Amino acid sequence: MRLRHGDGQTVHLGYCTNVHPAQDLDGIVAQLDTYALPVRERLGTDLLGLGLWLAAPVAAELAAEPRLRRRLRHELDVRGLEVVTLNGFPYASFQDPVVKYAVYHPDWTTPDRLAYTLDLARVLADLLPDDAARGSISTLPLAWREPWDAGRADACARNLDALAAGLAGLAADTGRTVRVAFEPEPGCVVETTADAVRQLCAVDTEWLGVCVDLAHLACAWEEPAAALAALRAAGLPVVKVQVSAALGAATPDRHADVLRDYVEPRFLHQTRGAGGGATDDLDEALDAGLPGPWRVHYHVPLHAAPAAPLTATVPVLREALRELVGGAAAGCDHLDVETYTWGVLPAAHRPGTPDQLAAGIAAELAFARDELLALGLSTPSDTPRSQEVTA
């Protein structure tokens, strides 16, 4: 969906397709009919934005073959779908049932991560709507925190320089701007905005910036106003925002039985206490008796509160959106709803069919849209023609 900020910018709102990942082009196209088109129809909008996730093999195939890129662009266009952003965090299989840490590899110390991200940029340049100002790609925050040393940091810095050069070359070749955004995440080299300021201070900010995931921001117990002010002061642009909410538990010691329903084998659910305690997974926090209150890296549906006494960090989301787009100028124009854990919710909250999942995604997008409208954004049809600005 497209919304209009009072400063004239088009703000793109969509959802991230890693909630129903596919591994090849035919699978991606099938997703459009199974999920994306029903979501658009439920929302009653003529145009729906997708934050596509492309596995590395299909990204390489698309990057190498213009005909395939044209096919994907056509499949999107005829369904009233558009893409201005890609999720470049997971590299291959997003849901590895055996190794939870697999999503962090290959990392930014490797040539594989660089090649994958430049493939995504090549693809996105051809998927971008003609009137879109720019494209964005979110990526992992350099690497998992261990191992990390000076040698790995140097290799990472060289790859980031090569990434910026590659994006500049793409812009020269295509006339399209694509920026890459590093997404702070619990447990990684860049976990907080302070880490981002320290680790990314030397990057070329014309092409590289930060993806602020609002669930991750909450898990770090950061105050949105202070965190975003720190990024601005450091000159690090907010290239993309993941509109998401984390799981909260005020008294985890009294409600361990409820929290154990959220322990599952596919994803890490890093847990952070308000006092600084930290574990890499929810079961570890429960077993260790980590002092509360907690915030858990578990993306919960925006519109549906988790089972009491648990909560969602929606207040953090609201404060962050107010700071980002509630003022005189929009601080970011690419917003992506990301609830990849729909399929692993406790049984009472889990959608059972594709239609139910599409209904849940549509409800989340409606929630996010209504939050943005309440901050003063408008739908394009609400904007007088005299105020319309082409992005």
Give yes or no for residue 35 having a pLDDT over 80: yes
Give yes or no for residue 343 having a pLDDT over 80: no
The separation between CA 46 and the C-alpha centre of its own chain, rounded to angstroms, equals: 23
Tens of pLDDT, residues 260-319: 999 988 889 999 999 999 999 999 999 999 999 999 999 999 998 898 899 999 999 999
pTM: 0.94
Report yes or no: 244 and 217 within 8 Å, Cβ to Cβ.
no
**Among residues 139, 143, 165, 162, which one has the least CA distance to residue 152?**
143
Give yes or no for residue 250 having a pLDDT over 50: yes
Rounded Cα–Cα distance for residues 307 and 132 (Å): 40
Give yes or no for residue 110 having a pLDDT over 70: yes
Report yes or no: 177 and 134 within 8 Å, Cβ to Cβ.
yes
Residue type, 239: V
Mean pLDDT of 41-67: 97
